[in-house]
């Protein structure tokens, strides 16, 4: 219940803020401040001291009470100014598999001449990551965000906070960036790789020792294709390059085909295909991928691995 109310309050406060693709400076209009539980306890203590001083007409009690109140007031300004003027820069994140943690980096830039101590960066209810930001310098904070399902993962709203110097008050601000990271399906499955095919598909990216004479038509150009296989004459009549195909390819190919899996649910199929992609890549095989609506020609290497995993991650989605 409390979390729901807090979420609704945050949504109401940040209703005019949209995710940004540029660094966000923390201006006065973006910074909020409230006492912590220690701050409320300190306020109760001041009230008790004040009543005691009034009851006994104790001038030393009045002086001590007002001194503590002045310290708390000065602490309020220091806490607020510890965030004021900071610039939050979004960072990039590497793609991960479902079940892992995506690590988003944020850089806190301090353009002022005063160091900023104890600045925290927090995602939802996780423990904040605290750093000190030097004067006219910057510091980087990395947040680990669970990637629970495949597709695009967006961290959404991030909180920048501080309780410096005394912990009596907490100042904070919310920022949101147009960040996202692609989450691949979890590689899971016990089935062995399908059988290799020799030359039936007509050649893939990165061809070597491909045979020479049994011409089998054209296919669209893909990065990594040999320039010798490009149909240069046909390129003058079309906007897309075409690559010649041959059926007597000497190097075996492996097709990772959705239709080979007699599994009813979509996610287990994608998980098995993901496991096959990683296995085929580690074994150094030429492999292609077929899923409903998309066909990736056989190839090998990091770019092929990435293309196949992206196709599996975004299967059934409308893109980004």
Domain boundaries, the chain: 18-184, 197-313
User: Do the Cβ atoms of 203 and 249 come closer than 8 Å?
Assistant: yes
Structure tokens at 202: 């007509």
pTM of the predicted protein model? 0.75
Report the pLDDT value the prediction gives residue 224, as an integer from 0 to 100. 58
Residue with token string 């010649």: 244
271 sits in which H/E element: helix 266-282
CA angle (214 as vertex; 209, 218 as ends), nearest 5: 90
Exposure class string for 279-302: b at 16+ Cβ within 10 A, else e = bbbeeebbbbbbbeeeebbbbbee
Report the pLDDT value the prediction gives residue 309, as an integer from 0 to 100. 96
Report the pLDDT value the prediction gives residue 133, as an integer from 0 to 100. 97
DSSP-derived letter for residue 114 is: S
Low-confidence ranges of the chain (pLDDT < 50): 200-212, 248-249, 319-320
User: Do the Cβ atoms of 108 and 143 come closer than 8 Å?
Assistant: no
Report the pLDDT value the prediction gives residue 200, as an integer from 0 to 100. 47
What is the rounded CA–CA span in Å between residue 38 and residue 45?
10
Residues with Cβ < 8 Å from 192, sequence gap 6 or more?
A: none
């Amino acid at each position: 219940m409390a979390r729901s109310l807090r979420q609704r309050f945050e949504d109401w406060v940040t209703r005019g803020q949209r995710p940004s693709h540029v660094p966000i400076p923390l201006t006065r209009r973006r910074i909020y401040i409230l006492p912590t539980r220690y701050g409320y306890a300190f306020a109760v203590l001041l009230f008790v001291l004040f009543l005691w001083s009034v009851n006994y007409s104790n001038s030393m009690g009045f002086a001590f009470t007002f001194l503590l109140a002045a310290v708390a007031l000065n602490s309020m300004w220091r806490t607020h100014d510890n965030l004021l003027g900071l610039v939050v820069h979004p960072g990039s994140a590497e793609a991960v598999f479902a079940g892992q943690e995506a690590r988003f980096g944020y850089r806190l830039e301090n353009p002022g001449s005063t160091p900023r101590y104890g600045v925290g960066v927090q995602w939802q209810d996780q423990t904040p990551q605290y750093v000190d930001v030097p004067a006219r310098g910057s510091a980087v904070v990395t947040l680990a965000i669970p990637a629970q399902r495949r597709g695009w993962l967006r961290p959404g709203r991030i909180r920048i906070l501080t309780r410096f110097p005394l912990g009596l008050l907490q100042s904070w601000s919310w920022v949101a960036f147009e960040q996202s990271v692609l989450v691949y399906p979890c590689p899971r499955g016990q089935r062995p790789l399908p059988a290799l095919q020799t030359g039936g598909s007509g050649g893939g990216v990165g061809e070597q020792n491909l045979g020479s004479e049994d011409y089998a038509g054209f296919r669209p150009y893909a990065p990594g294709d040999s320039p010798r296989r490009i149909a240069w004459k046909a390129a003058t009549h079309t906007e897309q390059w075409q690559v010649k195909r041959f059926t007597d390819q000497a190097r075996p190919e492996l097709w990772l085909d959705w239709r080979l899996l007699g599994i009813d649910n979509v996610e287990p199929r994608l998980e098995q295909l993901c496991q096959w992609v990683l296995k085929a890549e580690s074994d150094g095989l030429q492999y292609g991928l077929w899923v409903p609506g998309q066909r990736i020609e056989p190839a090998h290497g990091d770019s092929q691995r990435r293309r196949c995993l992206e196709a599996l991650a975004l299967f059934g989605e409308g893109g980004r």
